[in-house]
Amino acid sequence: MCRHCLSGWPATIERCPTKLLPTFIIEHADLLEGGGISHLIPQQQDLWFVPLGGTGEIGMNFNVYGHANQWLIVDCGVSFDEPLVAPYKTSPHTGVTKHRVVAPDPTFMTERRDDIAAMVITHAHEDHIGAVAALWPRLRCRIITTPFTAAVLQRKLAQAGLVGKVPVDIVQPGAQKTVGPYTLQWLTMTHSIPEPQALLIHTAVGSVLHTADWKIDGQPVSGSPFNANPFRALGESDLLAVVGDSTNATKAGFSISERICAEGLFSTIKACKGRVVVGCFGSNIARLISLGRIANKTGRYLACVGRSLENMVGVAKETGYWPDDVTVITPSHVGYLPPEEVLVVATGSQGERRAALNRLATDALPYFELEAGDTVIFSSIVIPGNEKPVERLVEKLVAKQVSVIQSEHSDLPIHASGHPCVEELKLMYQWTRPQIVIPVHGEPVHLAAHAEVAKSVGVRKTYVGLNGDMYLLAPQPGIRRDRVSTGRIPLDQ
């Protein structure tokens, strides 16, 4: 019985029908009709959004749009060291054993793979691209992405034995392409990796801006400064919805520029006497370029230790994003150099057990060993959930009498986030003026904060949900809770 009006409606219904009947009908049509939404087949008048990963969590992004009997997948990423059972929803998998790499369960789309128009990859970060090679054999759809991301993807496909088997269409940043009932337009953003793209999805019933990862950076180290003009133009186009990045929605102000971060790193490294090792995310090409130029200015040689770093540098050179003034030496040469001439970039800033930083901390790296007087700089933040592994790593380094500088405790800016803070989100919604905002790419606290930011600048409708919820964008907006089965699957056995 409804606790609000004592009617016969089920007690589990969140909204009382006497107060919000239209919303109730949208969210609980299955109770009124005895079934689902046409067996989850989107009709000509429908536009749906269904996140299978990345909503209610940070990482493992897998987003699906449904319209006119066809589905569009946006991104296909992984997460690291996560339990198979998500904490926010029942999973079809049992057990809570942690696996090093996990991907979203694609069952909802594998059951509909004949109706997949395409998969679009917005950029080459692991939480957006990392599951493609593992999941493509189940989906068997064509993939569309830009040149740099395609080059990263081809290396992953080669490792999986899928060279020549996966249809990959390459589009230039800013291109437009029609795929089934969707007309797609790529909009270049600023982020920490080359060619970050937002995706403008046009349909017969409305247009959606899927931002993916972005920030406003007027002084990027790699790529062009952020251009607001395309987003201002959207404000004149009656934009239906924005599906957007929530990572920093709890942080006031603006994110700092990558160039400001480079200045902070230069000042920090210049003051160091022995070897300097910088831990950062392996795909942060902008940070790598900054560190290469800092090595030049401080009389040091740059080496990259870790497979992901080496791969990214190789792709950046292959696609023309690596500058001629930055030289990288092989790690095996580091041991022959005087300590004050060494600048190493290493993977493992999140305390990953098998990454380069942890191996350095335990003298398990063959190239060189850290000694008293050396410095390790964490040019990164600690991702929620990784506090303990990072703490253990720092303890090992300190025990070796190595100086440790973490971005959270540094007086200088030695890390720059690639995601928008509150004032950047406000500007985006003031420019684009969407009818609806759907926060994604964040934990529940980030999603809720993002919705409040959107409301504060006049967005009338915001829908906060989780993986497996179905967001109805047209013909009548609403949200169906827990409509689609989701879960996590291990990618390493």
Tens-place pLDDT, residues 347-366: 999 999 889 999 999 999 99
Residue pair 166/143 in contact (Cβ under 8 Å)? The answer is: yes
CA 453 → CA 189, 235, 241, 438, distances in Å? 20, 17, 15, 12
Residue with tokens 């409804």: 2
Question: What is the predicted pLDDT for the residue at 82?
Answer: 57
**Is 229 within the bounds of a domain?**
yes
Q: Could you give the CA distance from residue 153 to residue 372 in angstroms, rounded to a whole number?
A: 40
Q: List phi, psi (to 5°) of 422.
A: -55, -50
Question: Within this chain, do residues 242 and 321 fall inside the same structural domain, yes or no?
Answer: no
* Whether residue 489 has pLDDT greater than 80: yes
**Is 423 within the bounds of a domain?**
yes
Question: Within this chain, do residues 203 and 81 fall inside the same structural domain, yes or no?
Answer: yes
**Is 350 within the bounds of a domain?**
yes
Of 152-156, 282-286, 447-451, 477-481, the least confident:
282-286
Question: Within this chain, do residues 185 and 239 fall inside the same structural domain, yes or no?
Answer: yes
Question: Within this chain, do residues 157 and 275 fall inside the same structural domain, yes or no?
Answer: no
Show the domain range for 368. 258-409
Last residue of a domain, one of 409, 438, 468: 409
Question: Within this chain, do residues 282 and 161 fall inside the same structural domain, yes or no?
Answer: no
Q: Could you give the CA distance from residue 258 to residue 411 in angstroms, rounded to a whole number?
A: 16
Question: What is the predicted pLDDT for the residue at 385?
Answer: 74
pLDDT digits 0-9 by tens, 230-289? 999 999 999 999 999 999 999 999 999 999 999 999 999 999 999 999 999 888 999 999
The separation between CA 100 and the C-alpha centre of its own chain, rounded to angstroms, equals 18
Between CA 216 and CA 222, with CA 218 as vertex, the angle to 5 degrees is: 95
**Is 414 within the bounds of a domain?**
no
Question: Within this chain, do residues 49 and 115 fall inside the same structural domain, yes or no?
Answer: yes
CATH number at residue 346: 3.40.50.10710
Last residue of a domain, one of 349, 379, 409: 409
Question: Within this chain, do residues 325 and 294 fall inside the same structural domain, yes or no?
Answer: yes
Question: Within this chain, do residues 383 and 452 fall inside the same structural domain, yes or no?
Answer: no
How many domains is the chain built from?
3
Between CA 88 and CA 244, with CA 386 as vertex, the angle to 5 degrees is: 55
Question: Within this chain, do residues 192 and 46 fall inside the same structural domain, yes or no?
Answer: yes
Mean pLDDT across 372-376: 98
Question: Within this chain, do residues 280 and 393 fall inside the same structural domain, yes or no?
Answer: yes
Q: Could you give the CA distance from residue 152 to residue 76 in angstroms, rounded to a whole number?
A: 14
- Count of CB atoms within 10 A of residue 335's CB? 12
The pairing of strands 375-378 and 276-279 is parallel
**Is 298 within the bounds of a domain?**
yes
Question: What is the predicted pLDDT for the residue at 22?
Answer: 34
**Is 221 within the bounds of a domain?**
yes
Residue pair 56/483 in contact (Cβ under 8 Å)? The answer is: no
Mean pLDDT across 221-225: 91
**Is 165 within the bounds of a domain?**
yes
| pTM, 2 dp | 0.89
CATH number at residue 89: 3.60.15.10
**Is 320 within the bounds of a domain?**
yes
Question: Within this chain, do residues 20 and 65 fall inside the same structural domain, yes or no?
Answer: no
Last residue of a domain, one of 370, 386, 409: 409
pLDDT digits 0-9 by tens, 156-209? 999 999 999 999 999 999 999 999 999 999 999 999 999 999 999 999 999 999
- Reduce the secondary structure of the chain to three states and give it as a string: CCCCCCCCCCCCCCCCCCCCHHHHHHHCHHHHHCCCCHHHCCCCCCEEEEEEECECECCCCEEEEEECCEEEEEEECCEEEEECCCCCCCCCCCCCCEEEEEEECCHHHHCCHHHEEEEECCCCCHHHHCCHHHHHHHHCCCEEECHHHHHHHHHHHHHCCCCCCCCEEECCCCCEEEECCEEEEEEECECCCCCCEEEEEEECCEEEEEEECCECCCCCCCCCCCCCHHHHHHCCCCCCEEEEECCCCCCCCCCCCHHHHHHHHHHHHHCCCCCEEEECCCCCHHHHHHHHHHHHHHCCEEEEECHHHHHHHHHHHHCCCCCCCCCEECHHHHHHCCHHHEEEEECCCCCCCCCHHHHHHCCCCCCCCCCCCCEEEECCCCCCCCHHHHHHHHHHHHHCCCEEEEHHHCCCCCCCCCCCCHHHHHHHHHHHCCCEEEEECECHHHHHHHHHHHHHCCCCEECCCCCCCEEEEECCCEEECCCCCCCEEECCC
CA 380 → CA 268, 363, 408, distances in Å? 14, 23, 9
Question: Within this chain, do residues 92 and 230 fall inside the same structural domain, yes or no?
Answer: yes
Q: Which two tokens stand for residue 262?
A: 């480079």
Question: What is the predicted pLDDT for the residue at 99?
Answer: 60
